[in-house]
Structures are given as C-alpha cells and as structure tokens.
Amino acid sequence: MAINVVIAGPRGKMGSEAVKMVEKETEFRLVACIDRKHGGKTLQEVVPHFSIDVPIYEDAETCFNENNEVDVLVDLTVPEAGYQHTKIALAHHVRPVVGTTGFSELQIEELSSISNSQNVGCLIAPNFAIGAVLMMKFAKMAATYFPDVDIIEKHHDNKLDAPSGTAIKTAELIRETRTAKKQGHPNEKETLPGARGADIDGIKIHSVRLPGLVAHQEVIFGSDGQTLTIKHDSMDRASFMEGVKLGINKVMEERRLIYGLENIL
C-alpha cells in the first residue's frame, strides 16, 4: 500500500523536486501540500506543469485535520515554519521528514521528546545527499587505519566561503576516529603561503573554485605504497531526492526522532 505524503514548500527549489519525485514513485501518494500562500487553490492551479493535483493548505493544523490518512510530512520550507509544521505533524501522529540546517539544539531536543513520547518517527537531516553522507561515513571509518588524509573540495567560482561546510564536517568526523597528528614532513616549508591548504587539527583542506564545476569533494588517505580515495560529485539538486525517498520509507519504521541521514544508512 502506498505511503500518503504531504509536502510543505512545493514551490521551492527542493520542494518542487520532492513533488516530482513523489509523482514518479508509485509507492508514494501525494495527498496535499502546505504553502505559506495559495491556500484554497490546488497545486496545478499554482504550478501548472506538475502532473498531480492536490489541495493546498496554508495552515498545517487544518491540513492534517482534513486529511487524517496522512503518513508522512516532507517539510522543505524554512526553519521557523518547519519547526511549527513538525510539532503539529507529530501531534497528529504524522511522521515528519525535515530538510533543514536551521533548528537550534533546544528545538531538536523538544521535538525529540515529543517524538519519543508519542512513539512517532521523525527524521531531521541537514543533508539529504546520500552520496555525500556515505562519503563522510566511509572517511570516518577509513581514518582508523589511515591517519594521513587530505581533503580536496571543488565548487563553482560563485561560492563565497572556503572551505565548504561539507569539507569542514568531514574533517571533524575524521578527527573523531584518527589519532591526532601533524602531517607532512616535520621540516616542510611553504615557499608560497597557502600551498598546503587550510588545517583542521593537521588535516589539510584544499578548495578549488572554477566555473564549470558544480559541487565535488574527494578525501584522499595515504599510507606506505597505497592511497584510498572517496569522492562525491554532485551535479544537481535531484541528488537529494534519493535521500528524501529513503527518509520517507525509514521514518515509517521508526518510533523516535533521528537527527542526520547518516543514522539511517
């Protein structure tokens, strides 16, 4: 039997990808959408190119009251709205799958205690790209055996910050397993500053910025006579939908809040 889904934020970049994904997957059935505008209209009235038509609600409470067979809420809105939607969903025994980096620790704790006491599964994930999450997981595992590691991340040249958040996150995860060490030759010298990259506890990070690139990262481990490389290339937003799909399926089997896609992989 299909899983009944409500999508919040169907006009956003991620949300519209989610609608397309649910349209394609026969195991899911879109029941309604939650949107901060267009309440009372239908999805196709607002976005004609979608092939499924469902009612739009501005109010989450009303949405779940009028559709009591909903299994999962996929929330791809902004933190403030997402937090409210999640609370309301849990109260209606609807399992939330939320893509956000913006919840505070306090909010997560609160949602976690609601989810646990209600026995309703809930997934909150800052990153839905399964490939990126697996890359980090494998990197953390490999660091036990290969303490020497450099990270190269490559992005289009309109990215403002270097290194990328994923590179920093990866280094932090590696740091949890590997024995701290200063890498490279003890007397190593940069004849040009910056050559050896940024440094997180001895782990070197190099940021390439070029037009034509999208979002790429490779983690290179070296030891005598061998290297092991884990590389993720992300070409477009569609890459997140595999993770949302997995999240919908997994949250159906859970009875508590899970933070981070890595914890269901």
Provide the sign of the torsion angle of the four alpha carbons 185, 189, 191, 196, taken in this order. Answer: positive
Indicate which residue of 20, 137, 159, 169 is catalytic: 159
Q: For 117-150, give one letter per residue: b (16+ CB within 10 A) or e.
A: eeebbbbbbbbbbbbbbebbbebbebbeebbbbb
The verdict on whether residue 11 carries a ligand-binding annotation is yes
The verdict on whether residue 37 carries a ligand-binding annotation is yes
Indicate which residue of 155, 204, 245, 250 is catalytic: 155
Map tokens 């159906």 to a residue: 252
- Whether 73 and 6 have beta carbons less than 8 Å apart is answered as yes
User: Which neighbouring-strand residues pair with 204?
Assistant: 150, 199
The verdict on whether residue 179 carries a ligand-binding annotation is no
Q: Is 95 in the site for a copy of itself (CB under 8 A)?
A: no
The verdict on whether residue 125 carries a ligand-binding annotation is yes
> How far apart are alpha carbons 208 and 218 in whole angstroms?
11
- With CA atoms as reference, report the closest residue to 7 among 161, 23, 119, 115: 23
Q: Is 252 in the site for a copy of itself (CB under 8 A)?
A: no
The verdict on whether residue 166 carries a ligand-binding annotation is yes
> Which residue of 47, 168, 172, 249 would you call a contact of a copy of itself, by CB under 8 A?
168
Report the nearest approach of a copy of itself to the CB of residue 143 (Å). 11
Stretch of residues binding a copy of itself (CB under 8 A), selected from 62-70, 112-120, 231-239, 251-259: 231-239
> Which residue of 1, 105, 179, 193 would you call a contact of a copy of itself, by CB under 8 A?
193
> How far apart are alpha carbons 265 and 260 in whole angstroms?
10
Is 154 annotated in the active site? no
Q: Is 105 in the site for a copy of itself (CB under 8 A)?
A: no
Is 155 annotated in the active site? yes
Size of the site for a copy of itself (CB under 8 A): 77
Q: Is 242 in the site for a copy of itself (CB under 8 A)?
A: yes
Report the nearest approach of a copy of itself to the CB of residue 233 (Å). 5
Stretch of residues binding a copy of itself (CB under 8 A), selected from 30-38, 62-70, 109-117, 194-202: 194-202
In terms of C-beta density within 10 A (0-12 exposed, 13-18 middle, 19 or more buried), how is residue 225 classed?
exposed
- Annotated binding residues for NADP(+), written as ranges, equal 37
Could you list the active site residues?
155, 159
